Structure 1
Amino acid sequence: MRIVIADDAVLLRAGLEHLLTEAGHEVVAAVGDATTLLSAVREHRPDLAVVDVRMPPTFTDEGVRAATLIRSQDPEVALVVLSQYVEERYASELIADSPRGLGYVLKDRVADVEDFLGVVEEVGSGGTRLDPEVVQQIFVRSRRRRTLEGLTPREREVLALMAQGRSNQAIAETLFVSPGSVEKHISSLLTKLDLPPVDGENRRVMAVLRYLESEEK
């Protein structure tokens, strides 16, 4: 395959280039930032791009944003995304339209040369390979979102106010209901969120964390 590599770490970039070349692939470009990556893909029209999630200048999500743009502009280019940590939101965004020709791998997996080359071959052939840890995180996030969808509109209002740090009395005053009614809504939503009483665990805090996770973009 004809491959473009994008990673700001010079040693890793060189290592990947050597590894892929030894495996019989042609590395047509090896770059260190997202802007140059996009230019290289336009120029060389590779079969596959290996892209780091975080690259200059801010080292946040430049790489994955470039990968998303490549996927929308030229879906025939397969993508293997490398990440230092599990960042399932990025993986979810990439597979939203189609998982075909997509790999999302944690960087420490690259040390297993045979496995990494297998990922490249499979993804380049139109397959999908997601790191097991990423799959688990996507599943957990999806399950929590589905659980929140089971709340009534009033329960979501109560939970949103809880997330703002409001007391039961303050929530009651805001929603023009009685404190007893607020307590019933809280009890109901805690049950629906599968947060039974557990020693040493603050159910209210856990519920707020679930809410905040569901609101992340």
Structure 2
Amino acid sequence: MKKQIFFFLVFISVLIVAGCQTQDQTAVKGEVDTVVGDVTLNGTNASVGDDIDYDDLIVTGTNSYCDIVFGKKDMFRIVGNSSVKIDISKNPSIIYIKNGQVAYVMGDLGGKGFVVETDVAVALVRGTVFTVVAEWTNQVYICTCNGSIDFNFGKYGKTNITAAHHVSIRLVKENDGSYAFLPSGLEYHDDEGVEALVDKIGLKIDWTKTDGLSDK
């Protein structure tokens, strides 16, 4: 199988969903906040201040990254050899991570959140910190860094992971469409990286609380 790795940290509580999105003409547009290295937006070089809104495609090269902010407290980072499509015309807005090495996502977006689509799962995310790494086309690494994640897989059941400080699993989609959950350790990220991103948007994190995000 083709191996893919993408990685995102999210300040949002998560619910895996498969529902349709409605049109939303009032959604907050994103804006490119930081560009380092080779980053393109819809095929042209991305620049600080570029709007991110309807069906935009962001591609990053090797040793590159791009930070995108939505409003004052919402942000995510796309890093290194990634391809991510964003569409805020839907409600909730959609981020489709086609492939990539690392992406960090954070924010509550006024409670509306984002639908994050991958080859393995679709998630509605808001209000928590989490990390996802797509290791294979049928396998993802998921860490609840701080907060709670609710998974709903229809006939295959539901589960929840709540943590004050990093609880991680591997989620494997089997050939029959069912899912296996494998315990895992802390990989791909650390406290320092999470805290640096939290600080960039004026927040802090208390690792002793499951709802540890707050203003500085």
TM over 0.5: no
Q: Which has the larger radius of gyration?
A: 1
Structure with the larger strand share: 2
Please give the TM-score of this superposition, normalised by the length of structure 1.
Answer: 0.30
Please give the TM-score of this superposition, normalised by the length of structure 2.
Answer: 0.30
